[in-house]
Structure 1
Amino acid sequence: MSGALDTGFIEEWQPGHDGVQFYTRTYPAASPRAVLLLVHGFAEHIGRYEWAHARCAHNGITVFAFDQRGFGRTALDSAHKSKGSSYGKTDLHSQMRDIEWWLQHLRNEYPSLPIFAMGHSMGGALVLAFATRSTPPPAKDSVALLSGVIASSPLVLQHVSTSRPLRFLVDQLSKIFPNLLFDASLPNQYLSRDPEVMSALESDPLVMQKGSLKCLSDMLNAGESLYKHDYQNWPSDLPVIFLHGDADKVTSYKASREFFDKLQAKDKNFETIKDAFHELVHEPKGVKERFMDDCISWILERARNGRHGTNGTTET
């Protein structure tokens, strides 16, 4: 599926459900067979996925991505961002509403195409949570818009858990100072084995490893809720695939497998990427291409056949 790719995309500022302006990118496929909504991870932005999204478009999948509220250009572009937007300012309720909003947007834009959602890390937990929330948002008819979910290194649980006293303190303070920024930095070398990725991260003005107290509290609580009981709400006919490196030092590979095993989905797959770190899309050459090609193949198979497939686990 490789080769010289045109990385052209359409960038737009578009209002969300509450009027907040979002920075968005669309990578249009010439003859689209499916649409993919990308939900990026904590403290990053959609510009980091350019090569991967171009690869999707080259293979018949139109990609729509947005810098989440509180992150990327949505939070930091002084010329275009909304007055109330600031770095780290977000919460689980808003994130669920945002995913719902953009899914409805994609259904209106591409009424005849199947829609898939892919999330990485925090974004992986968000797309899983979107399908399992027992109370609105989202509405059940919005979940029904999805033809499949891809969870890349999802934050179900942390690789090394934050101490309970600190979690309690953050939870309590988030009720008083929800938008107060808190340092949540991790060593960049935990993210990828590619030294060029490390260098790019260090010089990227849109990457700040901080989050609001409310964002951090909701992020960790949502993962635990998924792990402990929300898995029971998974729609049995909604296909899902997990892709996780077994050397991930950020999110728990073990918890991801255990969550997968508990899901009562008719079509579910788990792919272990041997020796891979957290950001599978930024692993060294050969690994990242195979990761994306596996995602593309999974989407196109279900785009052809509807909500059908086989359960299984693989190692690569």
Structure 2
Amino acid sequence: MSSSSVSWLEGPQKTKFFTRFYQAATPQAVIVFVHGFCEHSTRYVEFHTKLADSGISVFTYDQRGFGRTSMDEKEKSKNSSYGRTGWDDQMADLNWAIGYARQQVPGVPLFIMGQSMGGGEVLGFATEGDKSPYAATIASLAGVIATSPMIQQTTPVNRILRSVLSGVKLALPNMLFPADLIPGHLSRDGSVGEAYMKDEFVKNTGSLRNLADMLNHGDEIKGKRWNVWPKSLPVIICHGTDDKITSCDASKDFLSNIACESKHFVPFEGAYHELANELPDVKEKLLREVVGWVEKTVKQPTEVAKL
């Protein structure tokens, strides 16, 4: 039987992160999970508990600028505020989380998994390149899992508005801007959108720097980063075909472009954006796909992946 715990841990820039750890009784692998834009890690307790019950430990955290990491007035760092984050911060934070998870679950393959913005982050981390400070960490990964990744929006933001936002962010990087996310687009389960609206740790806004970085790096992943995907790094992308927030076609195009020995795309017919919070049949399928893919991948793990 699995167990779970909550901790506040000090990460990069001496920032305190709200974290959750789900320990499998006999772990065959560990996943570092990165949540999406405007939200937080607690929204995935059910999914992460089931992963741990299936033999896969999970370490997750409220990202810098989001959730309790930015809004818990009793515990958060003095340098933390909602929306105060950007791509470089997110890459450093993910690298830290990977290192911590390795210490907690040593000797098993480690995977990174992200949802939406977090999906874009894990794909982006894997394509930071051989000269990045994270090259050794990337080489040690057993695989990458992305659900509904933010590569491109289903309905892209107007280019003129994006140019204006990118310009203003230089002067006012932490200024908050409406995200215009429709809760009903998260899931076909209406209770998910209702809970999202009532969640005290959800704000439907983002900083100009975070918004610009998220969209611009999505363009990079689609436009050129795919070309440096590590050939031997397995990847699976799961995406709802009726996702109204991030583009399912962009996910398919990304996978078709990369030169990877093991790549897998799983469409979820009719599903919306948050597969882990969708209707029961979708949630069950997602769990089966992720657990099955991890089990298949770890049967022949590289020696590096076991470090």
**In which range does the TM-score fall when normalised by the shorter chain?**
over 0.9
State the match for 2:74 in structure 1.
79
State the match for 1:229 in structure 2.
224
Contact 1:130 1:138 in 2 (8 A): no
Relative to structure 2, which stretch is displaced further, 176-185 or 195-204? 195-204
Question: Could you tell me how far 1:102 is from its partner in structure 2?
Answer: 1.1
State the match for 1:254 in structure 2.
249
Contact 1:246 1:276 in 2 (8 A): yes
Question: Could you tell me how far 1:135 is from its partner in structure 2?
Answer: 7.2
Which residue type is aligned with residue 270 of structure 2?
D
SS of the residue aligned with 1:37? strand
Q: Distance in 2 between matches of 1:202 and 1:212?
A: 19
Identity %: 41
SS of the residue aligned with 1:9? strand
State the match for 1:305 in structure 2.
300
RMSD: 1.3
2:125 aligned with 1:130, yes or no? yes
Q: Distance in 2 between matches of 1:154 and 1:276?
A: 14
Using structure 1 for the length normalisation, give the TM-score: 0.93
Which residue type is aligned with residue 227 of structure 1?
K
Q: Distance in 1 between matches of 2:52 and 2:106?
A: 18
Contact 1:191 1:277 in 2 (8 A): yes
Which residues in structure 2 correspond to 1:278-289 (within 5 Å)? Answer: 278-289=273-284
Which residue type is aligned with residue 206 of structure 1?
F
2:193 aligned with 1:198, yes or no? yes
Question: Could you tell me how far 1:142 is from its partner in structure 2?
Answer: 0.9
State the match for 1:91 in structure 2.
86
Q: Distance in 2 between matches of 1:136 and 1:85?
A: 30
2:15 aligned with 1:20, yes or no? yes
Q: Distance in 2 between matches of 1:219 and 1:194?
A: 27
Q: Distance in 1 between matches of 2:175 and 2:125?
A: 26
Q: Distance in 2 between matches of 1:82 and 1:9?
A: 24
Contact 2:68 2:201 in 1 (8 A): yes
2:300 aligned with 1:273, yes or no? no
Q: Distance in 1 between matches of 2:102 and 2:297?
A: 17
Contact 2:17 2:62 in 1 (8 A): yes
State the match for 2:183 in structure 1.
188
Which residue type is aligned with residue 265 of structure 1?
C
Which residue type is aligned with residue 189 of structure 1?
G
Contact 1:171 1:217 in 2 (8 A): yes
Q: Distance in 2 between matches of 1:192 and 1:159?
A: 15
SS of the residue aligned with 2:142? strand
SS of the residue aligned with 2:57? strand
Deviations 1:194-237 (CA, angstroms, capped at 9, x unpaired): 01112211211111111100000000000000000010110000
State the match for 1:147 in structure 2.
142
Report the CA distance shift for 1:135/1:205 in structure 2 as closer, same or farther (over 3 A).
Answer: farther
Q: Distance in 1 between matches of 2:26 and 2:283?
A: 24
Question: Could you tell me how far 1:9 is from its partner in structure 2?
Answer: 1.6
State the match for 1:170 in structure 2.
165
Q: Distance in 1 between matches of 2:113 and 2:159?
A: 30
Question: Could you tell me how far 1:152 is from its partner in structure 2?
Answer: 0.3
Contact 2:70 2:80 in 1 (8 A): yes
State the match for 1:312 in structure 2.
none
State the match for 2:212 in structure 1.
217
Stretches of structure 2 that go unaligned for 5 or more consecutive residues are: 303-307
Question: Could you tell me how far 1:300 is from its partner in structure 2?
Answer: 1.7
Question: Could you tell me how far 1:108 is from its partner in structure 2?
Answer: 2.6
Report the CA distance shift for 1:293/1:281 in structure 2 as closer, same or farther (over 3 A).
Answer: same
SS of the residue aligned with 1:112? coil
2:152 aligned with 1:157, yes or no? yes
SS of the residue aligned with 1:18? helix
Candidates 19, 38, 41, aligned match of 1:43: 38
Report the CA distance shift for 1:136/1:211 in structure 2 as closer, same or farther (over 3 A).
Answer: farther
Contact 2:24 2:52 in 1 (8 A): yes
Q: Distance in 2 between matches of 1:157 and 1:304?
A: 33
Candidates 100, 105, 109, aligned match of 1:105: 100
